[in-house]
Amino acid sequence: MEGQFKAEVSGGGGSCARDLVNELVSKCASLWNMYGPTETTIWSTVGRLETGEGPVCIGRPIDNTTIYVVGPAMQLQPIGMPGELLIGGEGVSVGYWKRPELTAEKFIADPFSERHGARLYRTGDLARWREDGTLECLGRMDHQVKIRGFRIELGEIESILARHPSVLQNVVVAEEVADGEKRLVAYVVPSGGQDPGAVVLRDHLRGCLPDYMVPSAFVNWNDCR
């Protein structure tokens, strides 16, 4: 459209930071986030981005594309609950060249469709639906760890921790302690040099996550340097 510049952000290549979005929005007429793997013909969702706070959404499915968020038993997840992101529709490719085992693992029959031969691609990405009908990508499922019998997606904890105004950057890891047990540790780079403290950050996470996903320790990254 004449006079309008449409900027593509994160076109299937990686996550997009909120501070980058807020900076770019003021420099162009419209800013769009496009998500999708090569296996589904590059783009599968799209959404217009605006300035704000919190995680950056990946929008809604494009035409002729179906998105599901499912749990471990292939059950559809309700709004707000994380699960694996599956993609169906016209963009799903045939499979991998001369990789039948991988094709069988990643390209599966669509149990939710009545169309003969419908298939889904298992992205391996963790996502959840928002109340407004858009999608939020939480990271890779292969970044999951198991602690005290619970499977935990570290990227989900990092995403929520990043929403706190006192957190500039963070990374959550599973560190091994005595007897082979593991505990969650969050390394935090404070925003503006002010350490929010473990109590504040722990309360922030408990407002969104169950107790078993709240790190046992919070470390100021500046103290490690």
Residue linked to tokens 């593991």:
182
Could you name the CATH architecture of 148-224? 2-Layer Sandwich (3.30)
The band of 126, judged by pLDDT with boundaries at 50, 70 and 90, is confident
- Among residues of the chain, what percentage have pLDDT more than 70? 91
**Cα 174 from chain centroid?**
19
The per-residue pLDDT for range 5-30, each reduced to its tens digit, is 444 444 445 567 788 888 889 888 89
Q: State the Cα–Cα distance between residues 37 and 48, nearest whole angstrom.
A: 19
d(CA 1, CA 194): 45
Lowest mean pLDDT among 27-31, 140-144, 194-198: 140-144
Domain range summary for the chain, segments of one domain joined by +:
1-140, 148-224
Contact 29, 48 (CB under 8 A): no
Superfamily of domain 1-140: Luciferase; Domain 3 (2.30.38.10)
* Whole-prediction pTM: 0.63
pLDDT at 114: 92
Residue 6 pLDDT: 44
Contact present, 142 and 123 (Cβ < 8 Å): no
The set of residues, in sequence order, having a beta carbon less than 8 Å from that of 194 and lying 6+ positions away, is 166
- How far apart are the C-alpha atoms of 17 and 138, rounded to whole Å? 12
Please write the tens of the pLDDT for every residue from 58-70: 999 999 999 999 9
The secondary structure element, H or E, covering residue 21 is helix 18-25
Mean pLDDT of the chain, nearest integer: 86
